[in-house]
Chains A and B, each alone.
Chain A
């Protein structure tokens, strides 16, 4: 049995993204979730499954309490850092197709700028226990520092360049400027990127994602109930998660230039019965520019080592060979751990993409990446 088309995203919602929401994380997640549930044509009491983002401190019980959910049949968490959101979609479709429940809510939100900044946040996560013991004491503290040696190794082996990373930042910012709900909208140039200050060499400020306040949510519905949704359902045609070899620390990964994405992608493409050439639009997890470049290779859009050449010349822009991160991504829209990427893909496949709509997008892809190289991939199609 395959999960192909067994579940569909029927509702999406978001708050405004900002540096100071002035609201609690619980309130932010409730607002986004109410919007997603209404978008699906459901009431909050229809939700019978929840996959919460435990790292935010908000759990399924908060939704049961706030919404008065009478009979929650399923709750779980998928703690894979930035791969959590797409991994949650796989988990949701699996339990929906097994008949455990009908409508799974996936919420995510944080006061990532105004309350808990990244330098202090990761230390408390159990996936970082080994890094906390062996690497933080020597000054390897934050994701930018943990991931920079992956980018450096790629540059040394394959000749990829900081300017190529910059192409990703410039294109993503342009999309954010058109989108309507993005934190960073002022256009940037390649020169701006090259002159931005170094954070963790080779990663510059404009290679790094934002820290954001806000929330997003999606509703995943079993296929047999998705046909009744208010809007056209967006089916999950292929989905997979992959974990890197030696996921305790980046340092210990045999090949620094490959992510868990390389294991997840073949599963997702095979399930969906499509190839990279069939993808009309891709929302690719972009905690750092280089991570986009690496995933393009791991996903099979180009060979290993050719990601740098692939992104040149505006290839990831609207009208380019593979429009990527049409919402501005984590780099310029907001850092919602990739749930905002799922929201955007659904809007694209519904034709609700507004100024960044990819014309006639039928099949799209979304990825998550997190912790020490976890990867998750979902391929969706409009119903």
Chain B
């Protein structure tokens, strides 16, 4: 889809965050890693809150995680999402120790539970935008 036809909010990446979005467009999930102390942090930001280093590396992560909490959206607060209702918004603890949120695909709302194992996947929204989603992960 071209950007013009897309009716949902689009991110406006900054110099601090653009590598995250660029990687999604390549089908990779990357998280900031402090070049000083090697801690991962999310969402992207310029300073490590432990060692205060401003040197950043980007680490590709597994995309495996488990559900920390969730909501099921039933009301259209934005017209762009009206046709998608109801949808599950999954707050997920990634195995690498950071938290992220994305829509959960392919799981009935009454099947959702804390600890549900999930795997990240990628959905192209426009020519310039890819969004992460989660799917239920089989096995362990």
Residues of A participating in the B interface, judged by any CB pair closer than 8 Å: 118-119, 123, 130, 132-142, 144-145, 148-150, 152-153, 156, 197-203, 248-249, 251-252, 256
Contact = CB atoms under 8 A, between A and B. Distances in A.
Interface of B: 8-14, 17, 42-43, 45, 68-75, 77-78, 81, 84, 86-87, 89, 91, 99-103, 109, 113-114, 125, 129, 131-133
Given A141-B77, A156-B69, 16 more contacts: A132-B11, A134-B43, A138-B103, A140-B89, A144-B75, A145-B71, A145-B77, A148-B71, A150-B69, A153-B68, A153-B69, A198-B75, A200-B71, A203-B71, A248-B45, A252-B42
Contact of B81 (A132, A139, A203): A139
Contacts of A135: 101
B68 A256 contact: yes
A139 B70 contact: no
A135 B68 CA distance: 16
B43 A137 contact: no
B69 A199 contact: no
Nearest to A201: B72
Nearest to A253: B99
B9 A137 contact: yes
Most chain-A Cβ atoms within 10 A of its Cβ — which of B10, B87, B99?
A: B99
Q: Which 10 A-B pairs have the closest CB atoms?
A: A148-B71, A149-B69, A142-B77, A201-B72, A119-B77, A153-B69, A136-B9, A141-B77, A198-B74, A199-B75
Contacts of B129: 137
Task: State the main secondary structure of chain A at its contact with B.
Answer: helix
A137 B8 contact: yes
Given A140-B89, A153-B69, A132 B74 contact: no
Contacts, number: 107
Contacts of A201: 71-74, 86, 109
A248 B43 contact: yes
A251 B100 contact: yes
Nearest to B89: A140
A156 B114 CA distance: 7
B89 A145 contact: yes
A197 B74 contact: yes
Contacts of B14: 133
A249 B43 contact: yes
Nearest to B84: A139
Contact of B89 (A118, A123, A138, A248): A138
Contacts of A248: 43, 45
Nearest to B13: A133
A252 B74 contact: no
Contacts of A153: 68-69, 114
A200 to B, nearest CB: 5
Nearest to A118: B77
Given A138-B103, A139-B84, A149 B89 contact: yes
A125 to B, nearest CB: 14
Contacts of B133: 138
A188 to B, nearest CB: 19
A150 B73 CA distance: 14
Most chain-A Cβ atoms within 10 A of its Cβ — which of B72, B87, B133?
A: B72
Nearest to B17: A133
Contact of B75 (A137, A200, A251): A200
Contacts of B84: 139
Given A133-B12, A133-B13, A248-B43, A139 B74 contact: no
Contacts of A140: 89, 101
Contact of A123 (B9, B13, B43): B9
A256 B133 CA distance: 21
B21 to A, nearest CB: 9
A153 B70 CA distance: 8
12 contacts: A123-B9, A132-B9, A133-B14, A133-B43, A137-B10, A140-B101, A145-B73, A153-B68, A200-B71, A201-B86, A248-B45, A256-B69
A251 to B, nearest CB: 5
Nearest to A254: B99
A201 B86 CA distance: 10
Contacts of B103: 138-139
